[in-house]
Amino acid sequence: MNARRVRGVVAALAALALTTLATACGGSETTGTAASAGGGDKLAEVRLGYFPNITHSTALVGIEKGLFAKHLGATKLKTSTFNAGPAAIEAVFSGAVDATYIGPNPAINAWAKSKGKAIKIVAGSASGGVYLVVKPEINGVEDLRGKKIATPQLGNTQDVALRYWLQEKGLKTDTKGGGDVNIVPQENSQTLQTFATGDIDGAWVPEPFASRLVLESKGKILVDERDLWPDKQFVITHLIVRQEFAAQHPETVKQLLEGHVESNAAINADPADAAKTVNSALEKLSGKPLKQEVLDSVFKNITFTNDPIASSLIGSADHAIKIGLLQPVDLNGIYDLNPLNEILKAKGETAVVDK
């Protein structure tokens, strides 16, 4: 696999991502025990984590419509929600969850920190939905000199993407907010406020925050990150499982993946209905549904797919190394797509690859 030549991301990612998000880890968790129901692969319950985010719609739709429950049968689905990658990874490491939806860099971080022993990526979930949104007077990359641009966190997926893009354009940055462009890591909810007040000039952010900056604060899109990747595809969310759990309960993992595949199929078959389902779930979880215009914009900007788009994960790791944020680590073996491909083959669909 091409990960041999890339060698991924190292403990520096843990130092950057975990440290900078340590204060943002307060997800609302409901944990349980994956107790055996009596031998074999039978379980009383399986614990699934996800974020109350639009980019985690596969989880939201699968839970709301009972698709995971349908395929799990007698095994109960126990869910936990998280607001940040480090909290979800800590739950994986502690055994509090068996699987979770998560972004690419936290998955790489978990792989690096555990020396390839903790997790496997078993399916893709979502692609796209990330933009550089700026003030209307900014018309090109040269206009960014001396400007303040926000990212969600130092060393996270969007932060790496912005720094690498600027480097490719000949503009320098540093981790202290200096350089030709001043990068300001901050929570996405804070970015909505600082952009509106003029304290920042733009932000490289995922949905729904990108659409909200455009629709609520009259920002404009300078870069659609899809344009920077082959075939306009890059991973924003995928599904990981604990290796120990997968080894002990392969059939349960396959059942979970069957619900995952059906959820993505439902989203793509009827996006309007899926959007309503997701917004209803978000309202239950946070008390704040998205405005209809934001919801419509977001669902047009994200592709929901079972393909983990492995090449983009490897590419992101390579970009992080090139901008000097990360040290190398071997990513070979981070994927186990065999159970997913068995399901896709049975449906007559194209297999996905790990490179």
State the DSSP string of 283-324.
Answer: HHHHS-PPPHHHHHHHHHHEEE-S---HHHHHHHHHHHHHTT
Q: What is the pLDDT of residues 61-81, one digit of tens each?
A: 999 999 999 999 999 999 999
For residue 241, what pLDDT is reported? Answer: 98
Q: How confident is the model at residue 166, as a pLDDT?
A: 98
Helix (H) or strand (E) holding 164: helix 157-168
Burial category of 29 from C-beta neighbours within 10 Å (exposed 0-12, middle 13-18, buried 19 and up): middle
Specify the pLDDT at position 41: 62
State residue 105's pLDDT score: 85
Q: How far is residue 75 from each of residues 26, 222, 224, measured CA to CA in Å?
A: 28, 47, 41
What pLDDT does 39 receive? 38
At 34 the pLDDT is: 40
- Tally: H helices and E strands in the chain: 16, 11
**Single pTM value for the model:** 0.83
Q: Which residues pair with 46 in a beta bridge?
A: 77
What phi and psi values does residue 200 have, to the nearest 5 degrees? Answer: -125, 160
The first and second tokens of residue 125, run together, are 């979930």
**pLDDT under 50 in the chain at which residues?**
1-40
pLDDT, residue 26, reads: 37
Please tell me the predicted confidence (pLDDT) of residue 109.
85
The whole-number pLDDT of residue 193 equals 97
pLDDT given at position 106: 87
pLDDT of residue 287: 87
